[in-house]
A and B are shown apart, each in its own frame.
Chain A
Amino acid sequence: EAGVTQFPSHSVIEKGQTVTLRCDPISGHDNLYWYRRVMGKEIKFLLHFVKESKQDESGMPNNRFLAERTGGTYSTLKVQPAELEDSGVYFCASSQDYRGVQYFGPGTRLTVT
């Protein structure tokens, strides 16, 4: 069974540009989560989808971040416009059950210059 996949693995963009990150959860997992790790800091929760609905977006830093999960399968996280402080590693995770074990993807390393 395929694990959580994320694309791209790396992205380097200039300040002010737009970037879209993609996450494909484990097949059949209704719960999908986004996290971010800024250098030197802990991994922080951004938001949680149940199927296509945003269940909890309390961790989203500001309105430059937009997450979608159309059709309840893969999810995208768009940053527009990107700022220097958005640099970090963005992780996606999925779980079968609410409050179940979360399985993580390899992450996308975003560098904003």
Chain B
Amino acid sequence: AQSVTQPDIHITVSEGASLELRCNYSYGATPYLFWYVQSPGQGLQLLLKYFSGDTLVQGIKGFEAEFKRSQSSFNLRKPSVHWSDAAEYFCAVLYGGGGADGLTFGKGTHLIIQP
């Protein structure tokens, strides 16, 4: 079955430090890749997406992600986190090739920012 793995349930980072959130997905034809963020009391907001082309994609709020096909990974990075980045982050994949129409999500990573 198609699956998305976010191995870190919680990550704690000091404000101003760099961040990397990991995401691995099971192999599938032509995956489209997404990162969403959910702040407390809010809905899911799209951070960035990868469909094709340049494997390093830029998103909102200073985030970027790199698609590595050989590793089936789509890790999210930010060079310097701010207290407002504290939220839950979801990696999601839209598989092609006749799979379900909906996104397949990872379990999410809670990001905690230390002052």
Q: Chain A interface: which size bin?
A: 20 to 34
CA distance A91 to B100 in the complex (A): 17
A residues contacting B by CB (< 8 A) are 3-4, 33, 35, 41-48, 55-56, 58-59, 91, 93, 98-99, 101-107
Q: Provide 28 A-B residue pairs closer than 8 Å at the C-beta atoms, listed in order of the A residue.
A: A3-B43, A4-B43, A33-B101, A33-B102, A33-B103, A35-B102, A35-B103, A42-B4, A42-B106, A42-B108, A43-B90, A43-B92, A43-B108, A44-B105, A45-B100, A46-B102, A47-B102, A58-B100, A59-B100, A91-B43, A91-B44, A99-B94, A99-B96, A101-B34, A103-B46, A104-B44, A105-B43, A106-B42
A104 contacts which chain B residues (CB < 8 A)?
36, 43-45
Q: Is the interface of B mostly helix, strand, loop or mixed?
A: strand
Number of B residues with CB within 8 Å of any CB on chain A: 23
Which residues of B, 57-92, contact A by the 8 Å Cβ criterion?
A: 90, 92
Which residue of the partner chain A has the closest CB to B30?
A: A99
Q: Known interface pairs A99-B32, A99-B94. Does A45 touch B44 (Cβ–Cβ under 8 Å)?
A: no
With both chains docked as a complex, state the minimum distance between the C-beta of A7 and any C-beta of chain B, in angstroms.
Answer: 13
Contact across chains for A101 and B49 when beta carbons are under 8 A apart: yes
Does B22 belong to the interface (CB within 8 Å)?
Answer: no
A101 to B46: give the CA distance in the assembly, Å: 9
**Using Cβ atoms and an 8 Å threshold, which residues of chain A touch B102?**
33, 35, 45-48, 56, 59
**Considering the chains assembled together, what is the distance between the CA atoms of A95 and B85 in angstroms?**
26
